[in-house]
Amino acid sequence: MRQRFGPYPPSTRRPGFGDLVVVLAVAAILYLGVQLAFDAPPAVQGPDIELAPPALPWYAALSVGRMTAAYLLSFLFTIAYGYAAAYNRRAETILMPLLDVLQSVPILSFLPVVLLGLSAILPEGIAAELAAIVLIFTSQVWNMTFAWYQSLTTIGKDLREASATFRFNRWLRLKWLELPFGAISLIWNSMMSWAGGWFFLMAAESYSVGERNFRLPGLGSYLQKAASDGDIQALFLGIGVLVLVVVALDQLVWRPLLAWADRFKLEMVEDQAPPTSWFYDLLQDSRLVQQLGAHLATLNERVDNWLNKRLQPLGMPQVEISQWTPLSIGVIVVLVSTVGYGAFLAVQTLFTLSLAQWLELGVALIATFLRVTVAMLIALAWTIPVGVAIGSNPTLARWLQPVVQIAASVPATALFPAFLLLFLVLPNGLNIAAVVLMLMGTQWYLLFNIIAGASAIPQDLKHTAALLHLSPAARWRTLTLPALFPFIITGAITASGGAWNASIVAEYTEFGGEIRSVMGIGATIAHATADGEFALLLAATLVMILAVVAINRLLWHRLYVLAEERFRME
């Protein structure tokens, strides 16, 4: 029997033709969206945002509603996409490279394409609402999809054989095996997804593209207006309301879900300090909730009976390979033709840029790469010892874990204007501020993964290290760091992608009616978006995509292979 310390890598294959096709498809989609944007009517100014305190509860409710809609969309996408990639080898060859590219696309580059494209075919208000939800969706969905895919591909053979023995069909296998197996991972990644959504909330609810200004009433637009006006009192008041919302969600949603999902752990010995939740205990004692649970159980039984009559039992689950049909061949021909034409037009658009602009993009890419590297090194320096301390000490975890969740959910973009005032008086203050914002937006991915890795170290190995009287240095070298290595790489690849995305808001910001920016690929994307330079926006976005994909393939995925081959128990 082989037991891995870390998760199964999302993909360990080498770059190939599929990656090229996916990049060309993304370029074509971006180009087609830009073409739609040329036909979009000029948008009038959005509604005025009131900075008076009585408006905050309504704005907070609107923002939570958009976050919830985006999360539900992310969850449905995650289940369907991950399931197709895990059980259809032919689909996997396209879906996983596509997912790898999409998670590297700058989040704010989605918005002008989606927003202006929707504005060409829908009323302005509906287009702005849908675009905001899509932007939040793109900040939530990718890590959830990777986590679900990894859960499906790492279910033990004994569990699959048991499901085959019980003659489960697809529905029962999903209900009794796959969802319970991936529940804890999905919940933790859902928390991280909500944190990512809060990070980009200000951009999602208040956005300008050229002469068009799209603004929606909400907590993000409130914070954006307070920052633009330099109203520090309103800014901190909005941040305070946001913290209250995050605390409420942590206590009323995430903590109860973690306490409920503890039953799905695969362990031989019961955890001595399981997660607890006062609200979960309160719901269990509620007679109303018990009656509702009885009604839901009856409904659940009816759904099971209805689906069991229509779905055939599965044998031992194997990778399902679909057969080519005339319809599938026709669809592929149409898609390839569309992508090819769009990619051709995108290349034509890129040729309109001058050599000086391409050289400027190269310099900007190097500048952002250096900031991302510095932010990652700082994050690794503090998250490893702190994560091990929290993950190895149940008492400490009980107190600090909620604090970490709350801190991760507070959007750094809301605090950035206040930090900017402090850094502007320092030499190279804007560059330092940009690194700090990247750090604030990405360090939590590392910390959460390291906490999970430290808490997953088997108790018998800890007891063995104690019996051998290993020194602290020897224990770190022979047990802790090898056990954490896969989790560090998992957190690093997500944090690295987040840092590149955060560069768009870190390198270009508006405060007190004045725009402040530094050289970088993120600032180039922001400038191109604000000025309506769509050719430059397309080029800068593709350059960032290619850079992130190259780093993932040449560095992080090789480290994944190393973790899989060397740092595991067997």
> Do the domains spanning 37-266+286-322 and 353-570 agree at the CATH topology level?
yes
Q: Where are the domains of the chain?
A: 37-266+286-322, 353-570
From the list 75, 80, 85, the residue with the least C-alpha distance to 10 is 85
At 33 the pLDDT is 61
Answer yes or no: is pLDDT of 387 > 70: yes
How far is 325 from 305, CA to CA, in rounded Å?
Answer: 32
Structural element, H or E, at residue 4:
strand 3-4
pLDDT recorded at residue 180 = 87
Q: If 0-12 CB within 10 Å is exposed, 13-18 middle and 19+ buried, where does residue 115 land?
A: buried
The pLDDT of residue 109 is 60
> What is residue 236's predicted lDDT score, i.e. its pLDDT?
83
pLDDT of residue 533 exceeding 50: yes
CA geometry: angle at 474 spanning 471 and 478, to 5°? 140
Mean pLDDT of the chain: 77
> What is the C-alpha separation between 204 and 414, in angstroms, rounded?
13
Calculate helix-pair angle for 107-119, 534-551, nearest 10 degrees: 140
Dist CA 473 CA 544 (whole Å)? 40
Q: Which residue has the higher pLDDT, 451 or 28?
A: 451
Report the CATH number of the 353-570 domain: 1.10.3720.10
Q: Is 41 helix (H, G, I), strand (E, B) or coil?
A: coil
Distance CA 115, CA 128 (A): 6
State the CB neighbour count (10 A cutoff) for residue 3: 9
Q: Give me the pLDDT at residue 368, please.
A: 93
Give CA 63 to chain center in angstroms.
Answer: 18
Under 8 Å between Cβ of 392 and 456: no
What is residue 112's predicted lDDT score, i.e. its pLDDT?
A: 59
Strands (E), 89-224: 206-209, 212-215
Which 8-state DSSP code applies to residue 352?
T
Q: Is the pLDDT of residue 316 over 50?
A: no
Residue 36, pLDDT above cutoff 70:
no
pLDDT of residue 115: 65
Rounded mean pLDDT of 362-369? 93
Higher confidence at residue 400 or residue 20?
400
Report which of residues 466 and 107 the model is more confident about: 466
Tens digits of residue pLDDT in 123-173 = 767 777 888 888 888 888 887 887 788 778 777 777 888 887 887 888 888
Task: For 327, list phi and psi in degrees, rounded to 5.
Answer: -65, -45
For residues 218 and 65, is the Cβ–Cβ distance under 8 A?
no
- Mean pLDDT in residue range 256-282: 74
Three-class SS state of 62: helix
- What band does 315 get if pLDDT is binned at 50, 70 and 90? low
| More confident call, 446 vs 426 | 446
Quote the DSSP letter at residue 215: E
Tell me what pLDDT residue 12 has.
Answer: 42
What pairing do the DSSP bridges indicate for beta strands 206-209 and 212-215? antiparallel
The separation between CA 309 and the C-alpha centre of its own chain, rounded to angstroms, equals 38
pLDDT of residue 113: 64
Of the pLDDT bands very low, low, confident and very high (cuts 50, 70, 90), residue 291 is confident
Inter-residue contact 226 to 238 (CB < 8 Å): yes
For residue 515, report the phi and psi dihedrals to the nearest 5 degrees: -90, 130
Q: Kindly report which listed range (342-346, 359-363, 536-540, 543-547) carries the lowest average pLDDT score.
A: 342-346
For residue 237, give the amino acid letter. L
> What's the CA gap between 47 and 49, in Å, rounded?
6
What is the 3-state composition of the chain as percent helix, strand, coil, each rounded to the nearest 5?
A: 75, 5, 20
Tokens standing for residue 311: 């779905």
Cβ–Cβ under 8 Å, residues 241 and 60: yes
Tell me phi and psi for residue 320, to 5 degrees: -90, 125
> Which of 10-19, 378-387, 479-488, 495-504 has maximum average pLDDT?
378-387
What are the structure tokens assigned to 353, written together? 């840029």
Instruction: Please state, in angstroms and as integers, the Cα–Cα distance from residue 431 to each residue in 144, 497, 523, following that order.
Output: 32, 19, 12
End-to-end CA distance of the chain: 6
Residue 374 CB coordination number (10 Å): 17
Grade residue 6 by pLDDT with cuts at 50, 70 and 90.
very low
CB 75 within 8 A of CB 513: no
Which residues partner with 207 through β-bridges?
Answer: 214
pTM over 0.85, yes/no: no
Task: Of 216-225, 269-278, 291-300, 462-471, give the lowest mean pLDDT range.
Answer: 269-278
pLDDT of residue 5: 38
Amino acid at 206: S
| Percent share of the chain, pLDDT over 70 | 76
Q: What's the confidence (pLDDT) of residue 321?
A: 43
Binned at pLDDT 50, 70 and 90, residue 75 comes out as very high
* pLDDT at residue 507 in the model: 85
Superfamily (CATH) of domain 37-266+286-322: MetI-like (1.10.3720.10)
Least confident of 32-46, 211-225, 237-251, 382-396: 32-46
pLDDT of res. 127: 77
Q: Above 80 in pLDDT, residue 444? A: yes
Instruction: Report the distance separating Cα 351 and Cα 328, nearest Å.
Output: 34
pLDDT per residue over 483-501, tens digit each? 888 778 877 877 887 788 7
Q: Which residues, including other chains, have CB under 8 Å from residue 84's CB and lie 6 or more apart?
A: 91, 95
Mean of the pLDDT values across residues 358-364?
92
Q: Which residue has the higher pLDDT, 78 or 121?
A: 78
Q: 164-215, pLDDT tens digit by residue?
A: 788 788 888 888 888 888 887 788 788 888 887 887 787 778 766 555 666 7
For residue 322, the model assigns a pLDDT of 46
Q: Residue 424: what pLDDT?
A: 73
Which residue has better confidence, 286 or 207?
286
In the prediction, which pLDDT does 331 show?
Answer: 64
